[in-house]
Amino acid sequence: MQAGKLPVARRGVISRRLSGILEPYLYVSPALVLIIAVMLMPLILGLSYAFRDIRILNPFSGGFVGMAHFQTLLTDDAFFGALANTAWWTFGSLLFQFTLGLILALLLNREFPGRRLIQALVFLPWAVPTFLSGLNWAWMFNPVVGPLPHWFTALGLMDEPFNILSDPDLAMWGPIVANIWFGIPFFAITLLAALQSIPKELYEAASIDGATTRQKFISITLPFLAPTIAITLMLRTIWIANFADLIVVMTNGGPADSTQIVASYIFTQAFRRLDFGYASAIAAVLLVLLLAYALGVIALRRAMTHADS
């Protein structure tokens, strides 16, 4: 508080009122400046690139091309392949992450000796840097150093040890397995937190009334978990659909684009071909699709809550 010429009492009132109005904005401003400069402005700029010819290696590029990128996109088989792969990658990963995460959360929800240690150990994959998870799993699938192909052969799943990452039909399983490994802890932690917030009295009351374990699970546990499940599934769908790191590290979208998802396709266009215009056009389409998905989920939830009441 700066000392002014005003009488102490009035100065206090005025400056307090002024600072009362301005203070919150001062606290928020550094974050706001960062987000606007590094996220919002690039987003708008990127959307404008979608209508321009911007190739880093071509100094004459930069002009407006209208809808040309989107027309190219309509006939780009690699893009439609990437769309299908995105759906496969997202729901394949999500299904296993969620199911296994839920089982793990239920297992950890009971008190047993050594639970804290076990909890730390099973949550560890979440802390492993994603590039390392990707590389590590790529090595696990590599017959030269990894045990997995040899085990698959011993089990009769493979005629001879080979790397599934170089087989276009199987390659997507590589990043999906890595993603499951990496993502189980996330679901386990969020669901465990939700489980632990369920009042214990409910189970006791149900036991007194003679409810079986399954009845209790269906009529107490699941309804309590439902909101958490709904929100995490929706948010995770979007997050996984955008999560290109594992694919870039493990397969780079190959072989023959068989593991290319839309997010990794954007990265490939920008990073390897340095075609920022086309990359931004794909990004714009991805943004619209994700927005449509989010709105669809919200509409669905609204319809369902209306149906309930």
Binding residues for another protein restricted to 153-212, rule: CB under 8 A: 181, 183-186, 189-190, 192-193, 200, 203-204, 207
Q: Is 68 in the site for another protein (CB under 8 A)?
A: no
Q: Which of 78, 91, 146, 297 binds another protein (CB under 8 A)?
A: 146
Name the residue among 86, 92, 121, 87 with its Cα closest to residue 179.
92
Q: Is 131 in the site for another protein (CB under 8 A)?
A: yes
Residues 262-281 that bind another protein (CB under 8 A): 263, 266-267, 270-271, 276, 279-280
Q: Read off the tokens for 191.
A: 């669901």
Residue 223 preceded by cis peptide, ω within 30: no
Nearer to another protein, 141 or 171 (CB): 141
Q: Is 216 in the site for another protein (CB under 8 A)?
A: yes
Name the residue among 126, 105, 258 with its Cα closest to residue 179.
126
Q: Is 122 in the site for another protein (CB under 8 A)?
A: yes
State the nearest-atom distance from the C-beta of 92 to another protein, in Å.
17
Q: Is 103 in the site for another protein (CB under 8 A)?
A: yes
**Cα(96)–Cα(104) distance, integer angstroms:** 12
Q: In this structure, how many other beta carbons lie within 10 angstroms of the beta carbon of residue 92?
A: 18
DSSP annotation of 273:
S
Going by C-beta distance under 8 Å and a sequence separation of 6 or more, which residues neighbour residue 149? 141, 142, 143, 158, 161, 162, 163, 164
Nearer to another protein, 135 or 158 (CB): 135
**Cα(162)–Cα(150) distance, integer angstroms:** 8
Q: Is 219 in the site for another protein (CB under 8 A)?
A: no
Q: Is 245 in the site for another protein (CB under 8 A)?
A: yes
State the nearest-atom distance from the C-beta of 170 to another protein, in Å.
19
State the nearest-atom distance from the C-beta of 136 to another protein, in Å.
5
